[in-house]
Structure 1
C-alpha cells in the first residue's frame, strides 16, 4: 500500500470510528430489528469506504454518512418490500429527516452521559454496564452484585435517576455556556 493510500485509509478510519455510534443510532431508528440494523450497518460501512474518494476534505463526514445510510436503509427496505413489517419509504424518509435534525442534540446527550458515567464509581459503573449488555439477565447481575432482584431494580432506578439528573444539569449548563 502506498503512503497516500495508507493516509486515505487512516483518514477514513478516524472519521468512521468517530461517527460510527451516531450512524448506528441513526440506522437503529430507521430499521426495526437490531440484527437487521447490524446488517445494514455492514453495508453502510462498505459503501462509505468505496465512496470515500467522493467525500470532500473539510466536509461534514457525519452528514455525508447519514445520507449514505438513508439510501442504504431505503435499499434494504426495497429488498425486504414483501415483509409486512417494513415501513413505507416516505415514512423512512421523514424519520431520517427528523433524526438527522435531532442528531446534534442526541450527540450532546451522549456526551453528557459519558461525562456523567465518569463520575460514577468504577464498581457501580461496571454493574450498570453489565445490566445493559444485550444478553444480560438481571437476575444474574443482581446475584453477582449481592443484591436481591428487587433490591437491584431499586438500585438501578436510583442510578438512572442520578444519571438523568446529571445529564439534565450538563445540558442546561451547556445551553447557558458561551
Structure 2
C-alpha cells in the first residue's frame, strides 16, 4: 500500500469510528466492552489494510470484521450472566443496519441542504461543527464580534433545519 492509499485508508478508518462504535455497542450493550472491541477491530483493520481494495465498500468490510470481533468477545464472556443468544444478535444486526441506512438518508439530506446554503453560512457551519472552533475563535479569525457570529450561526442552523424538514422522501425525524 503506497502513501496515498495509506492516507486514504486512515481517513476511512477515522471517518467510520463513530459508526463502528455504535454498531459494536448495539451488539454488546456494554460501553466498556464496545471500546475494547473497537480497539481490537481497529488493530485487525490496520493489519488487514493491505487486503482492502480502495473504492470498495469500507463500511461493509469493517462492520463484518467488527461483527467477528463481537462474536469472539462473546465467546470470551460466555461465563457472564448477560449474554445475547444468536437470534437476538441477528435481530440487533438487522436493526443496526436499518439505523445505519436511516443515518445515510439523513446525512444525504444534510449534505444536500449544506450545498444550498449561502457560502458564508456554509463556511460558518463548517468552522463551528467540522473544525470545532468556538464562536470566540471564529470571531477572532473573521475579525468580527462573537455576538454577530452567534447570530449568523443561528440563522445558518435555522436555514439548514428548514431545508432538511422540507425535503421529500424518507422522514428525517
Out of 58, 63, 66, the residue aligned to residue 66 of structure 1 is: 63
How much does 1:12 deviate? 1.6
Q: Distance in 1 between matches of 2:43 and 2:165?
A: 35
Q: Please state whether the residue corresponding to 2:79 is helix, strand or coil.
A: coil
Q: Distance in 1 between matches of 2:44 and 2:29?
A: 21
1:65-88 Cα distance to aligned partner (Å, 9 max, x none): 111111111111111011111211
Q: CA 1:58–1:111 in 2, change beyond 3 Å: closer, same or farther? A: closer
Name the Cα RMSD after superposition.
Answer: 3.7
Could you list the runs of 5+ residues in structure 1 that have no partner in the other structure?
A: 127-161
Q: How many residues align?
A: 135
The aligned residue for residue 18 of structure 2 is 21
CA contact (8 A) 2:41 2:69 kept: yes
Q: CA 1:5–1:58 in 2, change beyond 3 Å: closer, same or farther? A: closer
Q: TM-score, normalised by structure 1?
A: 0.60
The aligned residue for residue 95 of structure 1 is 92
Q: Distance in 2 between matches of 1:21 and 1:42?
A: 12
How much does 1:24 deviate? 1.2
Is 1:170 matched up with 2:161?
A: no
Structure 2 counterparts to residues 8-157 of structure 1, below 5 A: 8-109=5-106, 118=125
Q: CA 1:74–1:100 in 2, change beyond 3 Å: closer, same or farther? A: same
Q: TM-score, normalised by structure 2?
A: 0.62
Q: Distance in 1 between matches of 2:89 and 2:3?
A: 36
How much does 1:48 deviate? 0.8
CA contact (8 A) 1:40 1:72 kept: yes
The aligned residue for residue 143 of structure 1 is none
Q: Distance in 1 between matches of 2:45 and 2:168?
A: 32
1:43-66 Cα distance to aligned partner (Å, 9 max, x none): 010111111222122111011111
Q: Distance in 2 between matches of 1:8 and 1:85?
A: 41
